[in-house]
Amino acid sequence: MKSITVRLPAGVAMALRAEANLRGTTVSELTREAIEAHILGTPRRLGAAGSSRSGRDDISERIEEILAGEMS
């Protein structure tokens, strides 16, 4: 793997660290995933999938619609 240095505004760096902590991952891993998704079109991981109950029983049938709404 190749290392690079990226300069971010302080607020973006803070938000990135907070999001990495929230997801239980590293800033590097979160940054790689975001860049891959944006540049390469790699689908993002749904780390929170299945972690709570929505009270709905049609989620699996509507997943494409739900994800399309999330990506727009």
> Could you tell me which residue, 52 or 20, shows the higher pLDDT?
20
Q: Is residue 48 over pLDDT 60?
A: no
Cα–Cα distance for residue pair 39/4, rounded to 1 Å: 16
Terminal-to-terminal C-alpha distance of the chain: 31
The answer to whether residues 18 and 11 touch, using CB atoms and an 8 Å cutoff, is: no
Mean pLDDT for the chain overall: 80
Q: Which of 11-20, 27-36, 38-47, 50-59 has the lowest mean pLDDT?
A: 50-59
- Per DSSP, helices labelled H in 1-72 are 10-23, 27-35, 59-71
